[in-house]
Amino acid sequence: MRRLLFFTFLLLHILSYSTLKGAIPENVELVLKKSGKNRAEIEKAILYLKNQKSPLKLKALYFLIANMDIHYSSDYYWVDRQGKKIDFNEFAYSDFDKASVALNELRKRYPDMRAKAVTLHDIAFIKGDFLIANIEQAFSAWQTNYAKNISFDDFCEYILPYRQSVEPLQNWRETYLKKFGWITQMAKTGDINKTLIYTATDERNWFTDTWQKEVRSEPLPRLGALQLLFRKKGPCEDIADLEVFTLRSQGIPVALDIVPYWATSADGHFLNTVFDAKMHPINYDAMKTPPLNNALGREPSKVIRETYSKQPNVLANLEDVKNIPYGFMQTTNYKDVTELYWPTTTIKCQLSPTTEHHKIAYVLIFNNMRWRAAWWGEIKGNTVSFVNMSKGVVYLPTYFTNGKFKAAGYPIAEGYNHEVVLQPDLTRKKAITITEDDKYLHFQQGKKYRLFYWDNDWKPCGMRIPAPFSKIMIFDGVPQNALLLLRPEYSRGKERPFMITEDGKQVWW
C-alpha cells in the first residue's frame, strides 16, 4: 500500500509538472528558477488557478510572479547576548501599549537583547495559499467597486499587489476589507472625492503622524499592513502605505508617490495618487486638510511613483548598481512623475574634463547640509542632459566613483524664468550685505556666523558676529557669481544656500 501511495504521489507530481511545463511565460519561468526550494509553493498557486480555468486570474498571478524577484521584506527579530532568538510577537497582546510593556519586561530579563535585522526575499518565502487568497480577494474588490471598468493592466499595478514597499509580508486584505467596508459603499455613489475626504478624516482620528516626534527603535523602515492598524502611528511613509492598503482592499486604484528629498528644504515626503473610474489622477495627502489636490509646498528633487512591476527605462537597467548612488535609483520599480507635481525643465550642461571613464553623470540637490543625488543623465561627449527637473532649484552636476561624488561642473541655479551657472569669479571680489529674512535667516546676538562659497567644495570666506540689534551683516572679499552658504555656530543643519545678484539682491535656493 505504501508503495502504491508513493507511485501515485510521484505520478501526480509528474502530471502536475507536465501541466506546467511549456505553458509558463518565459519571464515567469526565469523567476521560478530563482525561487529554489520555494518553487513548489509558487507553482501551487499556478496549478490552482489553472484548475479554476480562470485565464485572467492566472494572467494576474503571472504578473505578480514575473516581478516578484525584486521584492523583499526588511524585518527583524530580537536576540540575546549569544545571538539566540527571543520569542516575542506584538500581536499576542490586545494593543500596542500592552505589547510595549511586555517588551520592556523582556529587556529586564535580557538587558543585552538587541534587534537583529533580516531581509526576506519574496520568492524564497511567499506561500501559495497567500498568493491565491490575494488574487481572489483583489479580483472580488475590483469587480464590485466603482473602478471595475479600469483596464486589466491598471488593476494589476494599482489594486492587485500584495505588498507596497519593503514592509514585513502580512495577510492583510480580509482585515482591511472588513474594517473599511464602508468605503466601498461610499465609492459606489461615484463621488470618489467625497469618499477620500471621509477616509482621510476617519484616519486622522485614530492614526498619529509621528514625523519629527518619534523615531522607531527597531530596524524596521516600513510597518507591515497589520502593524499599521495595531500600532496606529507612524511617519508619512507609513501613512501613505496605510492609504495604499486601505484603498486597494476596497478595489480603489492607488499609487504611492515619493519626494526623496526636498530640493529647497530638509528631508522628504510621501503621499498618494488615487485614480477615479476613468483613471484620472487625484493628488491625495491624507494628513493634510483638505487632503485632495494640494500643491506641494516647496520644490521637490524628484517625485517618484513606486510600482510593483519592473520598469524598462530605469538607470539600474543601464548601469551596474555599484556605480549608482544609494537610494531609489538602484531599484527597477519606479516612474518619474515630477511633471505632474511641479514645473519642470531639461538641464543641459557641459562637464568638466576627467581622466576616468563615465557613461553616467548625476545631478545633486542641497538637503540637510549635504549634496544628495536627485537624478542622472547619459553622458554624450562632454555634455549631459538631466530631464524633467524641478524649476526653482540649484543643482550640482557630478561624477560618481567608488562610492564618492566628484564635482563635474559648477552649480546651476535653475530659476523659473532664467538659468545661471554659478562659477565663482576669484578675480572679482566685493563686499556683500546679507540681510535677515523671515523665512531663511534671523541673527542671534553674540553668535558667530561663517560664510562659505562653493568651488568644488565649500570654501571659507570670513566670519562675523552681528552688531547688536542689527538686521544686516557685511562680508568683504566675496567672489562674485558664487553660490554662498552662511552657517551659524548654533546650526542644526537647516541652512539654505543663496546667491547675491549684480544689483545686490539676495536669492535663496
**∠ at Cα 342 (337, 347), nearest 5°?**
85
The answer to whether the CB of 198 falls within 8 A of the CB of 222 is: no
3-state secondary structure of 37: helix
User: Into which CATH architecture does domain 424-508 fall?
Assistant: Sandwich (2.60)
Range(s) of the chain covered by CATH 2.60.40: 339-420, 424-508
- In the predicted structure, residue 177 carries a pLDDT above the cut 50: yes
The answer to whether the CB of 364 falls within 8 A of the CB of 398 is: yes
Average pLDDT, integer, range 65-75: 98
Query: Which pLDDT score is estimated for 10?
Result: 45
Query: Which pLDDT score is estimated for 355?
Result: 85
Query: Which single residue is written with the C-alpha cell 488557478?
Result: 49
Average pLDDT, integer, range 351-361: 92
**Complete edge-to-edge strand list for the sheet that includes strand 72-79:** 85-86, 72-79, 114-121
The answer to whether the CB of 329 falls within 8 A of the CB of 316 is: yes
Rounded CA-CA distance 226/222 in Å is: 12
Query: Which pLDDT score is estimated for 33?
Result: 98
Average pLDDT, integer, range 48-68: 97
Rounded CA-CA distance 83/114 in Å is: 9
* Structure confidence by residue, pLDDT tens digits, 310-346: 999 999 999 999 999 999 999 999 999 999 999 999 9
Helices vs strands, H then E, count in the chain: 13, 25
Rounded CA-CA distance 100/155 in Å is: 38
Residues 6+ apart with CB under 8 A from 451: 434, 460, 461, 462, 463, 464, 475, 478, 484, 485, 486
Q: Give the DSSP letter string of 128-157.
A: HHHHHHHHHHHHHHHHTSTTTTS-HHHHHH
Q: Which three cell numbers stand for residue 293?
A: 489636490
Helices 2-20 and 39-51 cross at an angle (nearest 10°) of 80
- In the predicted structure, residue 4 carries a pLDDT above the cut 80: no
* Residue 119 pLDDT grade (very low, low, confident, very high; cuts 50, 70, 90): very high
- In the predicted structure, residue 3 carries a pLDDT above the cut 70: no
Query: Which pLDDT score is estimated for 145?
Result: 85
* Structure confidence by residue, pLDDT tens digits, 436-473: 999 999 999 999 999 999 999 999 999 999 999 999 99
Average pLDDT, integer, range 361-375: 97
More confident residue, 503 or 176: 176
Query: Which pLDDT score is estimated for 482?
Result: 98
* Structure confidence by residue, pLDDT tens digits, 201-226: 999 999 999 999 999 989 999 999 99
Query: Which pLDDT score is estimated for 249?
Result: 98
As a whole number, the mean pLDDT across the chain is 94
Average pLDDT, integer, range 84-112: 97
Nearest partner of 264 among 363, 346, 397, 367, judged by Cα: 367
Q: Which residues pair with 430 in a beta bridge?
A: 478
Query: Which pLDDT score is estimated for 194?
Result: 95
Query: Which pLDDT score is estimated for 22?
Result: 54
Query: Which pLDDT score is estimated for 23?
Result: 84
| Percent of the chain residues topping a pLDDT of 90 | 92
Query: Which pLDDT score is estimated for 15?
Result: 46
More confident residue, 299 or 502: 299
Average pLDDT, integer, range 161-189: 95
User: Into which CATH architecture does domain 339-420 fall?
Assistant: Sandwich (2.60)
* Structure confidence by residue, pLDDT tens digits, 5-27: 444 444 444 444 444 555 899 99
Query: Which pLDDT score is estimated for 12?
Result: 44
Query: Which pLDDT score is estimated for 1?
Result: 53
Nearest partner of 184 among 195, 173, 200, judged by Cα: 195
